[in-house]
């Protein structure tokens, strides 16, 4: 930036210098060429806008009180990009090409005393709309890849896996360190790259993409140059990361337990299994006993075999029950680590007896190795949780079931005393929501985890609503919004519907 002169509030001897000779409206001294600001009063208020305008002029910025042709940066507060675009369209301004920025960029400029570099976090997001992109020159210029995964279609195939794998290893390492900020940052950056329909080949391909800060870009640049990232390799070879990765792969072991075992000096599964002084939970004991089975992948055909068998059991009990295979398999994955099944019934309260009766039958069929039932704490009168990663309060059961190995795709009762074990232990989770909450539970348990986080952030930040697996609450109207399908939920949020296979964020 060119430094013209120091700002003068009350010039006595010097004449005001115009930054842009074509703009007769600037009658104060400015310091920076090529930058003309406009503060959007919408949701900001006149008094705050006047204060910020005077502050900017004192710092030497050219700032216009009206949106003129010379404006290069539009700054808004508490507005989404879509809301700014709508405001401009109402003003019949459709050909203005300039930056649409959040107030955070403006305040950083004021603090620094000069224009700061525009980061992806400063950009306001314009919801992608195909018709607007092709028919509206303003929208076509400003539409970007959204910062929210719920506004991006993310297929199963990840053509930027060399970068996203690196980001996810770093995110996982931060998760093991219980450092949520960097963990979320790498997860969101990975999610953006997964949604792209083109492979990243040069650093220029990153232009305009959100959530890719300098740290992420440095990693991408190193991978482009060397085919690998030294930082990622250091993490993968680190003793702590390897230990946590191993311990948390055991059914029933979380971060706290992994931390304790690591501090105790354990490094292998065998060391833990052979230590008689360790007090393991029932779930962990079964997790170790069937570690090889549970640690291996479950194929789609195996998941379908379990689902179809469970569905037949439930339909004999409750013929009109709704039984749905969810999780990664619903998103189109060919393999996973467990099987998630949601069960409900259109008849009110009829779903309450399904779980216990189903577990009883599976036990009689000698298919049940382990089960842990968690009874419902769901209260229809409570608001959805403010916590993005909050667990739901539905009745659920975490189980380990037997699946016959000989002929993949069938389940069969097997005696646990068989000398030659021809069955495989598979983790299966059952979730039983009331029918009125079924659509919300289905959306939540389908995933992906990043999509669910972004759906909840979008609802809160853009729509003044609260979303979780139980419902959607409109804070402006103080009402819960009914939804009987996932399409209903997307419609309430003003989002284009994403099919399950487009949610692999």
Whose CA is closest to 67, among 109, 95, 34? 95
**Of 338, 392, 454, 468, catalytic:** 338
Distance CA 32, CA 199 (A): 38
**Of 340, 392, 454, 468, catalytic:** 340
Tokens of 329: 């398999």
Length reported for the chain: 505
Q: In what order do the strands lie in the sheet with 73-76?
A: 62-64, 36-39, 73-76, 99-102
Say whether 417 counts as a known binding-site residue. no
Say whether 340 counts as a known binding-site residue. yes
Helix (H, G, I), strand (E, B) or coil at 43: coil
Q: How far is CA 296 from CA 18, 304, 335, 337, 338, in A?
A: 69, 17, 10, 7, 10
502: left (phi over 0), alpha (psi -120 to 50) or beta: alpha
477-483 contacts, C-beta under 8 A, 24 or more apart:
482/436, 483/439, 483/440
Is 392 tagged catalytic? no
Residue with tokens 């996932």: 486
Is 102 tagged catalytic? no
**Is 220 within 8 Å of 203 (Cβ atoms)?**
yes
Helix (H, G, I), strand (E, B) or coil at 113: coil
Alpha-carbon dihedral of residues 429, 434, 438, 443, nearest 10 degrees?
Answer: -50
Say whether 372 counts as a known binding-site residue. no
**Of 158, 165, 372, 429, catalytic:** 429
Distance CA 432, CA 452 (A): 19
Directed axis angle between helix 161-176 and helix 180-194, to 10°? 160
Is 429 tagged catalytic? yes
Sign of the alpha-carbon dihedral angle for 377, 380, 382, 385:
positive
Distance CA 343, CA 320 (A): 11
Q: Which residues are annotated as a binding site?
A: 338, 340, 429
Task: Name the residues annotated as catalytic.
Answer: 338, 340, 429
Q: Which residues are annotated as a binding site for Mg(2+)?
A: 338, 340, 429
């Amino acid at each position: 930036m060119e430094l013209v002169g120091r700002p003068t509030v009350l010039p006595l001897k010097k004449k005001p210098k115009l930054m842009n000779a074509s703009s007769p409206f600037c009658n104060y001294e400015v310091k920076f060429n090529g930058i003309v600001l406009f503060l959007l009063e919408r949701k900001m208020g006149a008094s705050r806008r006047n204060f910020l305008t005077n502050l900017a002029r004192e710092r030497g910025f050219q700032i216009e009180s009206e949106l003129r042709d010379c404006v290069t940066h539009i700054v808004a507060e508490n507005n989404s990009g879509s809301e700014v675009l709508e405001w401009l369209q109402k003003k019949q301004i459709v050909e203005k090409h300039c930056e649409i920025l959040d107030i955070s960029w403006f305040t950083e400029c004021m603090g620094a005393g000069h224009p700061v570099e525009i980061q992806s976090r400063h950009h306001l997001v314009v919801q992608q709309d195909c018709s607007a992109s092709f028919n509206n020159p303003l929208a076509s210029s400003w539409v970007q890849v959204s910062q929210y995964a719920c506004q991006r279609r993310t297929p199963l195939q990840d053509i930027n896996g060399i970068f996203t794998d690196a980001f996810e290893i770093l995110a996982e390492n931060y998760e093991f360190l219980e450092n949520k900020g960097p963990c979320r940052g790498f997860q969101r950056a990975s999610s953006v790259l997964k949604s792209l329909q083109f492979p990243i080949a040069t650093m220029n391909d990153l232009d305009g993409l959100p959530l890719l800060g300098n740290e992420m870009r440095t990693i991408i640049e190193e991978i482009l140059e060397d085919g690998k990232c030294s930082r990622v390799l250091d993490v993968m070879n680190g003793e702590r990361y390897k230990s946590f990765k191993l311990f948390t792969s055991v059914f029933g072991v979380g971060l706290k337990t992994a931390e304790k075992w690591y501090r105790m000096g354990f490094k292998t599964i065998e060391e833990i299994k052979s230590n008689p002084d360790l007090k393991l939970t029932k779930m962990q004991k079964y997790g170790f006993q069937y570690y090889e089975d549970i640690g291996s992948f479950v194929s789609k055909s195996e998941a379908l075999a379990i689902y179809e068998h469970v569905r037949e059991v439930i339909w004999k009990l409750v013929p009109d029950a709704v039984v749905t295979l969810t999780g990664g398999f619903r998103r189109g994955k060919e393999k996973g680590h467990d099987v998630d099944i949601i069960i409900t019934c259109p008849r009110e309260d009829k779903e309450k007896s399904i779980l216990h009766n189903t577990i009883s039958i599976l036990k009689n069929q000698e298919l049940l190795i382990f089960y842990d039932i968690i009874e419902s704490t769901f209260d229809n009168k409570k608001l959805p949780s403010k916590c993005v990663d909050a667990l739901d309060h539905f009745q659920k059961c975490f189980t380990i079931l037997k699946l016959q190995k000989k002929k993949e795709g069938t389940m069969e009762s097997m005696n646990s005393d068989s000398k030659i074990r021809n069955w495989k232990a598979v983790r299966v989770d059952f979730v039983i929501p009331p029918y009125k909450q079924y659509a919300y539970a289905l959306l939540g348990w389908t995933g992906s985890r990043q999509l669910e986080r972004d759906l909840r952030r979008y609802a809160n930040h853009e729509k003044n609503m609260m979303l979780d697996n139980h419902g959607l609450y409109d804070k402006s109207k103080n009402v819960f919004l009914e939804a009987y399908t996932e399409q209903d939920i997307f419609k309430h949020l003003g989002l284009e519907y994403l099919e399950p296979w487009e949610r692999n964020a």
